Chain A
Amino acid sequence: MGVPVPDSLDYVLLDEATIQRRVQEMADQISADYKGIRNEDFLLVGVLKGSFIFMADLSRCLTVPHRVDFIALSSYEDSTEATGAVRMIMDTRTDVAGRHVLIVEDILDTGYTLRYLYRLFGARGPASLKTAVLLTKPDRREVDVPIHYVGFSIPDVWVVGYGLDFSDRFRTLPYIGALKSRVYSK
């Protein structure tokens, strides 16, 4: 028996089986692209908090050896969304120089955060740098950022579950749901 769908959700956008199938497909593609790589050379970097479930499932589906690392970011309190300035709370523990780096993100929205990370890691001399995002909201994009692996392209609705939250709620639902507008607009 699954966890009941909370009242605050309008509908389920992506159910558990759909997500799992797509994550497996993404992992198959990544495994093919990085085939033959040594464990020390391939680093997955997850962005906390949102990406931990995606990371857990994606990394288990990979057949190529790899390391896993996490970073934590926070926006500046006085920053507007338009500048996209983010603060590094915890950096990777692994040195990315000379390694093939894959940034793992739950959702790509305006693109500011991913662009920041792409530039940050790009400046550290990785052997290669790619991005994997589970969800993308093309309607919200404000800056261009390269995405190499993408799970689902979704409309501009407030989504929760599978790592994504609303005020720290609904983060661990095994599916992705659309929040009722009355929940976030009040």
Chain B
Amino acid sequence: MSMADDIDRVLYDEDALQARIAELAEEMNVVYSDDEPPILVCILKGAFMFLADLTRHLSFRHEIDFMEISSYGSGTTSSGAVRILLDLASDIDGRHVIIVEDIVDTGHTLTYILRNFSSRNPASVRVATLLNKPSRREVDAPVDYVGFEIPNEFVLGYGLDYAQQYRNLPYIGVLKPEVYADEV
């Protein structure tokens, strides 16, 4: 089976993604400065590709950190509680933080991370997400930089996976419904 057999259609091609990411970087370039370098926190694994492309356009000083989280058992609980598998290497006390996410869906995980970070006393926290699915939102989760608002479809590529596949596609595609229909 070829790699793209499960893809219904391309939602955002490589050029569209790259152009939008450059715009997001420009928005950040006017807000942040070298005087108070922010820490960009990448939520693994999904956001690593977005982070790699976004940060190469930033003109202000910044640092990079990573966080990997995992839900307890199957699915997300309503509390949004997640296990932290990899915590930040840096102390964010007094620092500006930009959380970098691939997608914001129900908002539970993001809300949990925001609560967790607020107890660490950062100077500010903003959220940058490549994709936003407002129709799926269950809790109010603020997002400051949004690449694309998308409908409620199963998207993959550019860091996003289906069963650990397709993360490396340079575009965002929509999974054929029959591929995951077997499993629900």
Residues of A in contact with B (beta carbons under 8 Å apart): 3-4, 39-40, 46, 48-49, 52-53, 55-57, 59-60, 62-63, 65-70, 72, 74, 89-90, 93-94, 168-169, 171-174
Contacts and interface: CB of A to CB of B under 8 A. Distances in A.
Interface stretch (B105-113, B162-170, B175-183): B162-170
B66 A72 contact: yes
A60 B49 contact: yes
A136 to B, nearest CB: 21
A55 B86 contact: no
Given A52-B66, A65-B3, A72-B86, 14 more contacts: A3-B58, A39-B165, A49-B66, A56-B48, A56-B49, A56-B51, A70-B48, A70-B66, A89-B86, A89-B89, A90-B85, A168-B63, A168-B90, A171-B55
Given A4-B59, A53-B52, A59 B68 contact: no
B165 A65 contact: yes
B85 A56 contact: no
Interface in B45-86: 45, 48-49, 51-53, 55-59, 61-66, 68, 70, 85-86
A95 to B, nearest CB: 12
B68 A169 contact: no
Contacts of B57: 3
B56 A3 contact: yes
Contact of B44 (A3, A59, A67, A70): A70
B42 interface: yes
Contact of A69 (B45, B59, B65, B66): B45
Contact of A169 (B51, B61, B66): B61
A34 B65 CA distance: 32
Contacts of B85: 90, 93
28 contacts: A3-B56, A3-B58, A3-B59, A49-B65, A52-B48, A52-B52, A52-B64, A55-B48, A55-B52, A56-B48, A56-B53, A57-B52, A59-B49, A65-B165, A66-B168, A68-B45, A70-B66, A72-B66, A89-B86, A89-B89, A90-B86, A94-B164, A168-B64, A168-B90, A169-B63, A171-B55, A173-B56, A174-B56
